């Protein structure tokens, strides 16, 4: 998903908010997981990706 996010940034000049909407929230909805994934909220178990200054993933945490 980070490659998709980078593409949205470089080719389409989407804001970070738009990038996260498309690669996180929309995908959780598409997979029928928006009650558990896609955002960081009480009662959800989100996967967290830390992105460095260069736009590459530095750390990924999966919560089941």
Residue ranges of domains in the chain:
2-61
User: What is residue 33's predicted lDDT score, i.e. its pLDDT?
Assistant: 92
Query: What pLDDT sits at residue 48?
Result: 84
Q: Whole-structure pTM over 0.95, yes or no?
A: no
- In this prediction, residue 17 carries a pLDDT of 87
For 40-63, the pLDDT digits (tens) are 889 898 788 888 888 888 888 877
Q: If you average pLDDT over residues 22-36, what whole number do you get?
A: 91
Question: What burial letters (b/e) apply to 28-62, b meaning 16+ CB within 10 Å?
Answer: beeeeeeeebbeeeeeeebeebebeeeeeeeeeee
For residue 32, pLDDT beyond 90: yes
């Amino acid at each position: 998903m980070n490659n998709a996010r980078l593409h949205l940034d470089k080719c389409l000049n989407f804001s970070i908010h738009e990038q996260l909407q498309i690669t996180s929230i929309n995908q959780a909805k598409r997979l029928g997981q928006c009650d558990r994934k896609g955002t960081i909220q009480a009662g959800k178990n989100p996967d967290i990706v830390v992105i460095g200054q260069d736009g590459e993933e530095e750390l990924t945490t999966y919560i089941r």
